[in-house]
A and B are shown apart, each in its own frame.
Chain A
Amino acid sequence: GQQVMQIPQYQHVQEGEDFTTYCNSSTTLSNIQWYKQRPGGHPVFLIQLVKSGEVKKQKRLTFQFGEAKKNSSLHITATQTTDVGTYFCAGRWHNFNKFYFGSGTKLNVKP
C-alpha cells in the first residue's frame, strides 16, 4: 500500500535550536499537507504544498516540497517551548482520493 515515511520519530532540542522533520515517498506525490498536534490535543492543519520545489514560510516555520515531489520537510528556526508537539505530514498520490499520514515526529523543547 501507499506509505509516507517520516523521520525522525523523536527529536529533543534546547530552546533556540533549529528542528527539521522529513517525509519521503517512493513515488511522486500529488500534494502534501502538514499538521501539528499538541500533547493531548487534535491535529491542526498548518499548510498544503502542491507545486514541485515549492517553499512556503509561516514565521519561524519553513515548508519545502522536493523538485520530484517525493519528499517534503518542515524546518523550525529557533524553537520555542510553544513548538512542543507532534508534527505529521500527510501525502496524497494521483488517482488516490485520500491522504496517508506519516507516523509523526515528536518534538520536545527544553527551556
Chain B
Amino acid sequence: DAGITQSPRHKVTETGTPVTLRCHQTENHRYMYWYRQDPGHGLRLIHYSYGVKDTDKGEVSDGYSVSRSKTEDFLLTLESATSSQTSVYFCAISESGTGFGEQYFGPGTRLTVT
C-alpha cells in the first residue's frame, strides 16, 4: 500500500462544532483528494489539490474547506459540522503528472455528527 495515513480514524462530534481531518502521505505525490462515501452514492469528490496551496472544488464542496501548506499534508475542515456530513471520508493521492493516473486511497475516517 502507498504511504497514506489519515487521522483520526474515527470521530464522533456534535452538530455545530468544527472538525479537521488530516491526510498525510510519504510518497511525495503532487495530487491529493478528499472523498466522502455514503451508501448508494459511491465516492464523491469534495476537494482536491494539485500542489502546495493549489486547491479546487469537487462535486460536493459546500460546507467543507481544505488547506495544503506542505506537499505531504492535506487537511479537510468542516467549519460547523452537520448531521448530513456523517460519512466515511477517504483521502487519495495520485502520482500522475496530469492527475489522471491511478489513485491510492488512505484507510478512511469514519465521522459521526450527532
Binding site for B on A (CB under 8 A): 1, 6, 9, 30-31, 33, 41-45, 48, 88, 90, 92, 97-104
Q: Is the CB of A101 within 8 A of B44?
A: yes
A/B interface sample: 10 pairs, CB < 8 A: A9-B40, A42-B107, A43-B90, A88-B42, A90-B43, A92-B100, A97-B100, A98-B58, A101-B44, A102-B42
In the complex, the number of residue pairs spanning A and B with C-beta atoms less than 8 Å apart equals 53
Known: A30-B100, A98-B48, A100-B59. 12 other contacts (CB 8 A): A33-B102, A33-B103, A43-B92, A48-B101, A97-B56, A97-B98, A97-B99, A97-B100, A98-B45, A99-B45, A103-B40, A104-B42
A103 and B39 CA atoms in complex are apart in Å by 8
Which residues of chain A are within 8 angstroms of B42 by Cβ–Cβ distance? 6, 88, 101-104
Which residues of chain B are within 8 angstroms of A102 by Cβ–Cβ distance? 42
A90 and B102 CA atoms in complex are apart in Å by 10
**From A31, A41, A88, A101, contact of B100 by CB (8 A):** A31
Which residues of chain A are within 8 angstroms of B59 by Cβ–Cβ distance? 1, 100
